[in-house]
Structures are given as C-alpha cells and as structure tokens.
Amino acid sequence: MNIKTRFPPSPTGHLHIGGARTALFNWLFARHHGGKFVLRFEDTDQERSRPEYAQAILEAMKWLGLDWDEGPYYQSQRFDLYRQYIDQLLEEGQAYWCQCSPEELEAKRKKALERGQKPKYDGTCRRLGLGPGPGRVVRFKIPPTGSTVVDDLIRGPVAFDHQELDDFIILRSDGVPTYHFAVVIDDLTMEITHVIRGDDHLNNTPKHILLFKALGAQPPKFAHVPMILGPDRTRLSKRHGAMSVLAYRDEGYLPQALINYLVRLGWSYGDQEIFSLQELIEKFSLENIGRSAAVFNPEKLLWLNAHYIKSESPETLASLVRPFLARLGVENVDEGYLRRAIETVQTRAKTLAEMAEMLLFYFKEPDYDPKAAQKFLKPEVLPALERLAGELKELPEFSNEELLEKLFRGLAEEMGLKLKNIAQPVRVALTGKTVSPGLFEIISLLGKERVISRLKRAIEFIKSKEA
C-alpha cells in the first residue's frame, strides 16, 4: 500500500504545540513508510480563517522541517467538488434538504433536554422529499439501526450505535459544506490512507466512516492520539505558556529540540530521550504511541534545547544567534570573533536568546549590574585595577591564558591580596556581571584594546562615585 497521510489545520490561529505534534506524527509515519504527506487548509469557516494564519502555519512547518509532498490545498477553492458529491448523495436519497429553522430546532433541543433525553435531530424533513430553497440545509441520512465500529490503531475498536448519531448537516444554508463533509471528500479524493489526529475527533469518526461508505469508498485507517495536558493536568492551553511554534522559534529554541520534544509527547522508544531526525524516521510507529494523555513539561523542552545547543557547531550557532544579537543592537560582527565567543558560552546557554545575552559583553561595553558594581567596584580596588591596566598595557601577548593568569597571581601576591579580590572586580569591569565564562578566556578573547578601555572605564566609574 502507498501510505499517504495529511495535516489539515484550520487557519484560524497559529500552529500550536498540539497541532505541531499531530503534523509531526503524520509526517514521520509517511516518511517511515516512504509514503506521502499532504498539507491542506481547512478554511471553510470564512469568518474565522485568515490568510495571515495560513502563512504563519506554513512558516512554522518550514521552520520545523516538516516538508509536504502535496499541497497546500485550500478547501475554500474546492467548493465545486464538494457540491458534486452533495448532489450525488441527494440523487441517491442518502441525503436530503431540510427546512427546519434554527428556532424550531432550538425549541426541540430544549424540550429533549427537559425530558432528560439527548438532543438529536428528529428527522422531520427526512421523508418530505424537499428540494433546495432559501434557508435550507442538506442533511446526511444516518442508517436508523446498527452501529459503526472505529477500528482505531491506537485504542482498538470503539463502537458507536447509530441511535446515538443524528442526521448531521453536510451543506449549510449559505452553500458552504461543513467540516464533516469537506474532510471526507478531501481524504477520499486525496487518497489518504491513514488519518492520525487528536482524540477530540474520535466522536466525529463514525460520521466520517458512514459518509465514506455512502460514497461507496473504503474509509482510511484512523489513529486517535491522546491529548496533551498542561503540568497541572488540565487541557493544554495558553495558560501554560507559549503555545505557538513560532513563539518558541522567537525565544531561541532550535527546531530539532522542539521536534525531539514533540515526538515524546505520546510516543516512546524504551527510555531513550534524544533522537536524531533520521532515527525518528527509522523508529517511528503507531504501536509505540501510548493510550494515556501526555503532559507538557517546559523544563524538559528547555533541557533538550540546551542539549542541542551544546552539540551544535559554533559555525551553525553563529548564524542562528545573529538575529538574536541584532535584536540587542549588535550587528555586522566579525565571524571568527563571534565563533570563539560562542565557544565560551555554548555549554551554558539554554536558548539562543539567552546565548545572545551572554555574548553581549563581547560586543558592547557592559552596563554594570547594580549589585555587582556595588559589591566589587569599590574605592579599595582602585590601586589594583590601576596597576593591572598599566601592566596589561605592556603585555605583548594576550592570547596566552597562562601568561595572563601568572600576571594576575603575581600582582595579587605583591599587593597582599587574594586572586579573587582582583578577579571579581575585573570580571565586573569587563562583563558587567559576577558570573561569566573563565576570566582569562574572556581577557584573551576581548583583546588588549577592549580590556584596557573597560578597566579604565571601571576606574572612572569608581572615582565618579567617590567624588
């Protein structure tokens, strides 16, 4: 069988964590089987659908590396096709026009609820043989008896009694087909073999299967993936933090970290946590998707991101971090200098945004952290800073960290100080902070000119406070 999966987002918002996981599962399943992956936009809701959202979803898919073999299709461009199938069902008596007004339906719904019954369309227009007319909708005839079994690839068989289903609307009075209808016609005409989607759609699936059968077609196989919960075990939503994929990009997450994180929301392979994309394609299967809800854990995502930053080459990181530096006003930086600077922070930065913050002092004179300045840039360190500035100025070799350390130690000893009594003020003078990469590493990378000028600036700062 030629496997074909699809991802059909509604462009009514950004691609969020849950949608991205669905897309990833469909993509991996197709790639694993050497099949095809289709992208299509379910934009029949013309009021809520926006082209900007479709664009943003495409951008997020590309950033994640989830490429598609067909599409993007737009349901809004396929209305003629849907109409043909509606006509077919009407002609065959498998669907009918209904003239019940929303007010009548609402009144019946209320009555049913009052009687403690499940509200359901009562079939008033089923046998009236009506034709089209203003305000009329088309309903699909559910077989009155029997049941439909969804043979779910994750949950196993789930049976739905036809008594529980009602003759649902497939064409609205404004001529727009409903989701239930368009999704089936699309999956049918695009020859989708596997539908992998959130289990919030499980109750819709018997309706879809019945439509496929009414059209004389074999339904695809279905796999309903358990939902994602927030850390507080309620359904994942905005309350739990950034939900859109592009927000993660803008915060400095790497796409491979997000992919690795998303796949583990429901899928597992022993207790392995870190997977390359190639490995995922090889190992992915629906059998390894669990039946219970997955819990979103932002710390784990951050941990994975730190892992991928650590393992990335300084060369790649340089191009990735440049936009983040630009946001901080640092542009046109020397590539070699940037790469060496990255090597000094790469093991500690958890996101690219954090990395840019950590790198900032290499490119800009630092703003002193007020607490650090108060503690370490004090009048009593002036003699040491002045001596140091003088001696460093004479030092011909800045690239030798050992030599720098020797100079610091010699000076400390001579002045009756501990190394750290000199090192911390210098660190604050050079970086503005009390925590930074190794001091001698920084000095050697910053180079003579920057180091001397920053020491002088710190000296002036202390003097200005004294005055």
Stretch that binds ligand GLU, among 5-13, 270-278, 400-408, 431-439 (CB under 6 A): 5-13
For residues 194, 198, 200, 202, the Cα torsion angle rounded to the nearest 10 degrees is: 20
Q: Is 4 a catalytic residue?
A: no
Stretch that binds ligand GLU, among 8-16, 54-62, 136-144, 289-297 (CB under 6 A): 8-16
For residues 49, 55, 60, 65, the Cα torsion angle rounded to the nearest 10 degrees is: 120
Residue span 155-184 as binding mask against ligand GLU, x where in contact by CB under 6 A, dash where not: ----------------------------x-
Residue 233 beta carbon to ligand GLU: minimum distance, rounded to whole angstroms: 22
> Which residue, among 113, 103, 43, 101, has the nearest Cα to 75 in the 3D structure?
43
Among 5, 8, 56, 428, binds ligand GLU (CB under 6 A): 8
Kindly tell me which of 22 and 351 has the beta carbon lying closer to ligand GLU.
Answer: 22
User: Is 406 annotated as contributing to ligand binding?
Assistant: no
Among 78, 108, 201, 249, binds ligand GLU (CB under 6 A): 201
Stretch that binds ligand GLU, among 7-15, 382-390, 414-422, 438-446 (CB under 6 A): 7-15
Among 5, 10, 49, 256, binds ligand GLU (CB under 6 A): 10
Q: How far apart are CA 387 and CA 382, in angstroms?
A: 9
Q: Examine residue 152 and tell whether it contacts ligand GLU (CB under 6 A).
A: no
Q: Taking the CB of residue 268, how many other CB atoms lie within 10 A of it? A: 14
Q: How far apart are CA 246 and CA 251, in angstroms?
A: 9
3-state secondary structure at position 147: strand
Write out the DSSP string of 291-325: SSPEE--HHHHHHHHHHHHHHS-HHHHHHHHHHHH
Q: 195 Cβ partners below 8 Å, 6+ apart?
A: 5, 6, 187, 220, 221, 222, 223
* Annotated catalytic residue within 238, 364, 393, 418: 238
Q: How far apart are CA 56 and CA 238, in angstroms?
A: 18
Kindly tell me which of 10 and 444 has the beta carbon lying closer to ligand GLU.
Answer: 10
Binding site for ligand GLU (CB under 6 A): 8-10, 42, 183, 197, 201
**Positions marked active-site:** 238
Binding site, annotated residues for ATP: 238
